[in-house]
Every structure is written in C-alpha cells, then in structure tokens.
Structure 1
Amino acid sequence: MGKKLVSLDHVVFNYEGSDSHAINDVSFDIYEGEWLAIVGHNGSGKSTLAKLLNGLHFASSGVITINGSELTQATVWEARRKIGMVFQNPDNQFVGTTVEDDVAFGLENNGIQQDIMAERVKRALMKVKMDAFLDQEPHHLSGGQKQRVAIAGVLALQPDIIILDEATSMLDPRGREEVLETVRELKEENVLTVVSITHDLEEAAKADRIIVMNKGQVHREGSPIEIFRLEDELIELGLDIPFSVKLSKALQKTGLDLKNDHLTEEELVKELCELHSKM
C-alpha cells in the first residue's frame, strides 16, 4: 500500500427526518495510487459515501481525514482541491459552449492565470485523447466522449483523487469501455488515485480493491478475486459477478484445467488459447 490519503473513522450519517443510518459506523482508508471500487445495490450507502468524501454531506459523527486534515465546513474547499468528482450524467456537467471552455471552467473559477490555464486544458484533453475536439460543442459528442471531457475537467484541476460516481452507468458498452480504459491509463501514468462508486462488478473488476456496502455498512473488503469468490453472497445482496468469472467457473466444471480466476474476458480467452495450443 502507498501513502494513506483518506481515512474514515467510525463515520455515521443520517439524512434529515430519517430514523435509520444511511452510513453506519464505516471505517476504511484510501491509499495513494490505488483504484478502489465501492460497490453495492441501490440504497446500500455507496453514493452517500461519495458525497461525504467530497464534502457535499458532513458526517453526523465520526471523522473523515484527507491528507492529514479533518474534513469540516471550514476545510471543505481545500479538500475539494484534492478530490475531483465525475458524476453519472455527463450532460449535467457541461457549462461551456466548447470542449475547451468546459475544461477551463473550473480553472477560471480558481483564478488560474491564462497561460497556465491554456497549458493545463491542452494537457488534460491530450491525456483523455480528446484534444482533437477542442473546438467542438459538447452536445455533439458521444456519451463516452462527454465523460472523457468531464474527466479532463477534473484532471486540469490536478487533484490527488478522482471519484467516479456511477460515471459509466448511462453509457453504452463502447462508451463504458472507453472511459474505463482512460481511467486505467491515467492511474498507471500519473499515480492517480481512483475511487469508483458503482453497482457494476464488471467495472469493479478493474480495481485493485473492492469494498462491498450493504445497509450503510462495510459488508466485505478484498481484492476483486477474493470478492468474486463470494458469488452466492453477492447475489443475495442484489449484485452479480462478471461474465468472465461465471464462464471460467462453468468451464472448470466441465473438466477444463483452467488455472486462474479470470477478471476479464481477455484473460479468459488468453488462457483458453494457451490451453488449446498444448492439446
């Protein structure tokens, strides 16, 4: 594990007027350079956690620490400089008339000098492979392209952590893969810390670590392989394991000597080809 960036210590959160805890005694850490997926069914508390991490809500009790500073109303703006968020619907995030204007918006609000801003915008769009669309109107882009521009807008602000709050849930399979591949590359190139809030375990399979939420609590925590081995338990929680893991298990039951749990279809196909070449 790298440096500890965020720590949640016995965090509790109640929505006003509710008798039950939306988040109930949650403790975990987020480390520099990791991809953490927080998964759960609707109402499990995962999206509330995202809002707590970004200071959109504040804990009823317990402590959230970001880079050694407690997250409070007094420190929230400093925390938001360290944590960027990409939301579910890309159309709700655009404020500029062009891609360039949109990525520059957050920098302008932070008073960044014009020459520095222009360089950051260009560099951020290059990193998500959208620099050729600089002068395009955002509504002409595909869903996946819009989310990549939204990610560029966050990257330009140079945060330590990027939170994807169901950021691929409204995309078609191609758009979803575009965004996840972009995030994977950014994480590897920039030592960017990623927190993915999702109900899609295909997306969670790409993470280094998974936290499973249920009824506002941390139900399970582990690597993708460790979590996907809890197949029946996940199904009871309203979740499902990735297709590649299901198929791998089914093939093993037929007698195929497959050595590994396969988190992606590419991994499964590779081992099947290797097995076939030995026959």
Structure 2
Amino acid sequence: MNKPLVSIEHVHFKYEGQEEYALKDVSLQIYDGEWLAIVGHNGSGKSTLAKLLNGLQYPEKGRIQIGELELTEDTVWETRKLIGMVFQNPDNQFVGTTVQDDVAFGLENNGILREEMVERVENSLKQVQMEAFLQQEPHQLSGGQKQRVAIASVIALRPQIIVLDEATSMLDPRGREEVLNVIRELKEDHDMTVISITHDLEEAAKADRMIVLNRGQLYREGTPEEIFQLDEELVKLGLDIPFPVKISKMLREKGIPVSKSYLSEEALVAQLWTSHSGK
C-alpha cells in the first residue's frame, strides 16, 4: 500500500455545551490513491470527522496530518488546497449564475490566470459529462447534474483528496450511480484519493477499504468483503446491509451455492449464471 496521505492520531473532539465526546481517541490513516469509506449511523461521529479534515473544527486532543502539514489554524488554508469537499446538498455550494461561472469561482479566488481558468472549467465539466451545460442556470439542473457540477468545481482546483460528505444521500438511485461512476473514473484517471463519508453501505461497497464508526469511536476497519461479514452486527449499529449481500446470504440459507457475499448485483448474477449453466 502507498504511504499515508492523511494521519489522524488519538483525536478527541467535543462540541461546546455537550458532555459526550463526538469523537473519542480516533486514530486512522488514509493512503495515497485509495478510496476509503467511513460509515456509521447518525451521531457516530463521521460528519464531525469531515469537519475536522476540512479545518471547520479542530481537535481538543490529538493531531491531524495532511500531506507534510499538521492541520492547525495556521496551516488550514494550505491544507484546504489539498482537500476538496462535496457536500450533501449541492444547492448550498452554488455561487455562480451559470454552471460555467460556478466552476470558475474557486479558480478566480485562487488567482488562476484567465486562459488556464477557461481550460480548467471546460476540462472539469467534460470529466463529469456536463460540458453541454456551460451556460445553464444551476437551478434548472436535476439533482444528479447539480452534484456533478459541484464535483467539477472541486476537481477544477486539482486537490489530491476529494471528500464526499453524504454527497449522494439526496439523490435518486440513478443520480447516485451516475455520481459514484464519475468519482470512480476520476480516481482511476488522476490517482485521486477519495474519502466517502456515508451511512449508505451500497456506496461504501464501492470503496477499497471501510472504517465503521460507532458512538465516536473506531469500531472496525477492513475491506468491504470483511466488513459485510459482520452482517447482523452492522444492523444492530443502525446500518443497512447492501441488497446483493442480503440476497447472497438468503441464497446460501436456501442451499444455493453462492461462494461469498457479492457486493454488486452484476457479480451475483454472473456467479448464479455460471453455476447454473455448469461452467
């Protein structure tokens, strides 16, 4: 595995006026070029972790290192250049009157020269298949299209890390699939590091590695295959098992030979087809 790009070491965090810690002694590493899903029920601490990574909050104890920099109030603007955030509601991220203006906004703030800005705006919109919507007003777009523009705004800034903070939770299944496919392609084409903070285990199944948070603490970590073997344990934590994993389990209980819990419907269908046709 590559070197850690982000190190979170013994981090504690408590909101003002709260007795309970939102995060308690959390340590984890995020590696260059991986897709890491951080999952947990509401109140598990995952959104707090997103705020800490972006310097919207700072740990009470412990430290966060991003690249070569320790994240502090003095370094926060430098570390934010390394991390691009895509939030739950794309409407909250729109600032331009057109799609083009919106993607250009962050580049203008960073003092990018006009010629390069035009090129980056066009390239980033092309990467998310939204280049035909340059002059469109953002409010005329569908949820999935808005989220793709929000992603284009982030990737135009060329961060090393992209954080999806419940970024697909307001989308319908088709919009969610579109956005996740775009992220997968970007990760592969640009060797980007993706941190997906979500309660949706269907989304988490697409990651290379998963971390489960529970009541502010790191509960488990492993590959999606390893985590989904926890099965009923995840349900008790308030998480819903992905549909293909549930079906795999039901088929095994009925005596149908399914060698493992499949993470995608396509893989499960292929396995059933192969075993049924005797190949």
TM-score range, shorter chain: over 0.9
Between the aligned partners of 1:130 and 1:241, the Cα distance in structure 2 is: 32
2:207 maps to 207
1:239 maps to 239
1:71 maps to 71
* Unmatched tracts of structure 1, length 5 or more: none
- 1:240 is paired with a residue of what secondary structure? coil
1:23 maps to 23
2:251 maps to 251
Q: CA deviation at 1:276?
A: 2.2
Deviations 1:3-56 (A, max 9, x none): 211000100111111111111100000011100000000000000000000100
Q: CA deviation at 1:157?
A: 0.4
**Aligned residues of 1:37 and 1:211 also touching (Cα < 8 A):** yes
Deviations 1:115-157 (A, max 9, x none): 0111111111111111111111111111001001000000000
Between the aligned partners of 1:166 and 1:241, the Cα distance in structure 2 is: 17
Deviations 1:201-248 (A, max 9, x none): 000000011110011010110100100000111111101210000001
1:174 maps to 174
Paired letter, 1:44:
S
1:85 maps to 85
Show structure 1 runs of 4+ deviating over 4 A: none
2:49 maps to 49
2:121 is the alignment partner of 1:121: yes
Between the aligned partners of 1:153 and 1:5, the Cα distance in structure 2 is: 22
**Aligned residues of 1:11 and 1:26 also touching (Cα < 8 A):** yes
Q: CA deviation at 1:254?
A: 1.4
**Considering only aligned residues, what root-mean-square deviation do their CA atoms show, in Å?**
0.9
**Aligned residues of 1:231 and 1:240 also touching (Cα < 8 A):** no
Q: CA deviation at 1:256?
A: 1.5
Q: CA deviation at 1:68?
A: 2.0
2:65 is the alignment partner of 1:60: no
Paired letter, 2:52:
L
**Aligned residues of 1:106 and 1:157 also touching (Cα < 8 A):** yes
* Unmatched tracts of structure 2, length 5 or more: none
TM-score, length of structure 1 as denominator length: 0.98
Paired letter, 1:196:
S
Paired letter, 2:213:
M
Between the aligned partners of 1:46 and 1:147, the Cα distance in structure 2 is: 20
Between the aligned partners of 2:271 and 2:179, the Cα distance in structure 1 is: 26
Between the aligned partners of 1:42 and 1:194, the Cα distance in structure 2 is: 21
Between the aligned partners of 2:73 and 2:173, the Cα distance in structure 1 is: 39
1:183 maps to 183
Deviations 1:81-116 (A, max 9, x none): 000000000111111111111001000011110001
Between the aligned partners of 2:193 and 2:140, the Cα distance in structure 1 is: 30
Q: CA deviation at 1:176?
A: 0.6
Between the aligned partners of 1:270 and 1:91, the Cα distance in structure 2 is: 39
Paired letter, 1:51:
K
Aligned residues: 279
Paired letter, 2:156:
A
**Aligned residues of 1:5 and 1:32 also touching (Cα < 8 A):** yes
Structure-to-structure mapping, 1:128-147, within 5 angstroms:
128-147=128-147
Deviations 1:144-183 (A, max 9, x none): 0100100000000000000000000011111111101111
TM-score, length of structure 2 as denominator length: 0.98
